[in-house]
Structure 1
């Protein structure tokens, strides 16, 4: 029987997670209720539904699940986008909760509100809103992708409310949204101010900071050069136990592939706080994470932690 290199690599990956090749369901009907305890496939901590920028490319919950079936993604976090800088077409918390209600065995809902929303300004009001969504099943807050400095007082209210409710927050950093400076000093201010809140890092500004030697422009880009010593991510992870990383999007894949030797060592070193993600948000989108994980040579234990176990633990999925 002929088998593609991609299919062969996937079978090896799945075997490393403790499941035999060929066990993943091949149809939507079969895929209706996979068991998280079975240890099969990826848990993707970063996807979206709805429209992002192109109205011709709406991603329905059913289309997302079909894609998940194709790529052995057992469960996926679905993130709303509620800030005007985050997308052309807002994606509401209510739509995410409804999708997860319809597909409870596959989709994991997060919640989000823009910190500038008039009636959500106080910490008490924000806490009440977020707790209401958590009561409906939300497992975290995000994508927090807001056109303010990362530690703006309005942003800090959101962090305080999430800490009070007890859910993690997934954020985006670049030079437009969640704005910071080289060294991520604004993020550090939030980390030390809210030590009981688990932050999940994402976006160009976060992942460019795997390397030292950055200027302000680099925080908004996708550097291709070898990683230089002194990266803020390693520094922050060494000093703050409440910071995690989400490997999604071009920024996440690039951070590892730009310097595979350093990237592999980094994943092994930070194996307990890195999580697999794709940022899949439109039909037909190319996702580099699958090719990256075909190339990476990691111990089975490390691969399993990154691809599913860390998400299960952080999001309390079992």
Structure 2
């Protein structure tokens, strides 16, 4: 007899198989005909909280807005948030907010733009000027701030200055957290200071450090832990205590968090069903996105699927 935990670990191994190659490894093209698709049709169309366009680390891997739309059509994704990247630690090829806003203007029914600003640029900028700068982006259509992926401590005074402006303007912050960008420690004390200081600002967690913190025994915020998840992780603790912290399931880190221990992962998603948003971090043609298979294997209740696949993003971003 195989135990329930071993059964779920076997499922996890299959779900993680798609992550063994490079992030940019090629995969067969999915075709529009439902009978030819490589993924199962979800209970409701996805809204993707985390995508990019342009170039990331390779000049040969360019994803135009039209390419993103094509991939969305092939994977039952109705709308997608497109995130700029403006900090030198975030990417080799910067992706300014203007690129994202232009893409959203081209596909207004499909793409949801965010804006971003490196806090180090705000060092000599007054609070009023920074607020007006973000208000302008919001007037141009930005629904949030991010990807906030900066080589500073998460609670650095310059970072806190930007959070204050985002709270004032009403822009949710989607952040990356690890040992290099949005730096913190096990237990996430820097993040907790920020979410406690700005209770009216919605924070959306992403990245290896954030998702490693699903487990109570995490020792480093820079990797992809394996094995069973220990109870008492910082994510559960923070979500229990603070109503303004959410999680974005995107990238290898998000998939690893719920697939490394499928039993815990499923229970976590059901327990935190009001705080988790589907995301892919799709950013290059041919990229494998293992979240589709992982979520399919979990067989979540339909009401939970609807919240995670789209409902929570609609709520957080106030989408009509």
TM range (shorter): 0.7 to 0.9
Note the C-alpha offset of 1:122: 3.0
Listed as ranges, the matches of 1:195-210 within 5 Å are 195-210=199-214
Task: Say if 2:226 and 2:260, in contact at 8 Å, map to a contact too.
Answer: yes
Structure 2: runs of 5 or more not aligned: 1-33
Rounded Cα–Cα distance in structure 2 between residues aligned with 1:281 and 1:56: 12
CA RMSD in angstroms, aligned pairs only: 1.4
Corresponding position of 2:255: 253
1:47 aligns with 2:51: yes
Q: Secondary structure at the match of 1:220?
A: coil
Note the C-alpha offset of 1:255: 0.3
Note the C-alpha offset of 1:119: 7.2
Task: Say if 1:50 and 1:60, in contact at 8 Å, map to a contact too.
Answer: yes
Rounded Cα–Cα distance in structure 1 between residues aligned with 2:147 and 2:118: 10
1:108 aligns with 2:112: yes
Corresponding position of 1:58: 62
Rounded Cα–Cα distance in structure 2 between residues aligned with 1:107 and 1:118: 28
Note the C-alpha offset of 1:6: 3.9
Task: Say if 1:280 and 1:287, in contact at 8 Å, map to a contact too.
Answer: yes
Corresponding position of 1:156: 160
Deviations 1:219-277 (A, max 9, x none): 10000111012100000000000000000000000000001110001000100110000
User: Which one of 73, 92, 95 corresponds to residue 91 of structure 1?
Assistant: 95
Task: Say if 1:211 and 1:228, in contact at 8 Å, map to a contact too.
Answer: yes
Task: Say if 1:140 and 1:315, in contact at 8 Å, map to a contact too.
Answer: yes
Deviations 1:165-210 (A, max 9, x none): 0110000000000000000000000010000000000000000000
Corresponding position of 2:15: none
Corresponding position of 1:226: 228
Q: Secondary structure at the match of 2:55?
A: coil
Task: Say if 2:51 and 2:281, in contact at 8 Å, map to a contact too.
Answer: yes
Deviations 1:68-93 (A, max 9, x none): 00101100000000000000000000
Rounded Cα–Cα distance in structure 2 between residues aligned with 1:289 and 1:148: 29
Task: Say if 1:120 and 1:126, in contact at 8 Å, map to a contact too.
Answer: no
1:69 aligns with 2:73: yes
Note the C-alpha offset of 1:124: 1.9
Rounded Cα–Cα distance in structure 1 between residues aligned with 2:236 and 2:51: 25
Rounded Cα–Cα distance in structure 2 between residues aligned with 1:309 and 1:120: 39
Rounded Cα–Cα distance in structure 1 between residues aligned with 2:234 and 2:269: 15
The change in CA–CA distance for 1:109 and 1:261 in structure 2 (over 3 A counts) is same
Note the C-alpha offset of 1:296: 1.2
The change in CA–CA distance for 1:5 and 1:116 in structure 2 (over 3 A counts) is closer
1:80 aligns with 2:53: no
Return the structure number with greater relative CO, CA threshold 8 A, min gap 6. Answer: 2
Listed as ranges, the matches of 1:172-187 within 5 Å are 172-187=176-191
Structure 1: runs of 5 or more not aligned: 18-40
State TM-score, norm by structure 1: 0.88
User: Which one of 267, 270, 277 corresponds to residue 268 of structure 1?
Assistant: 270
Q: Secondary structure at the match of 1:101?
A: helix
State TM-score, norm by structure 2: 0.87
Task: Say if 1:115 and 1:121, in contact at 8 Å, map to a contact too.
Answer: no
Note the C-alpha offset of 1:5: 8.4
Corresponding position of 1:166: 170
Corresponding position of 2:318: 316
Task: Say if 1:119 and 1:125, in contact at 8 Å, map to a contact too.
Answer: no
Rounded Cα–Cα distance in structure 2 between residues aligned with 1:193 and 1:248: 26
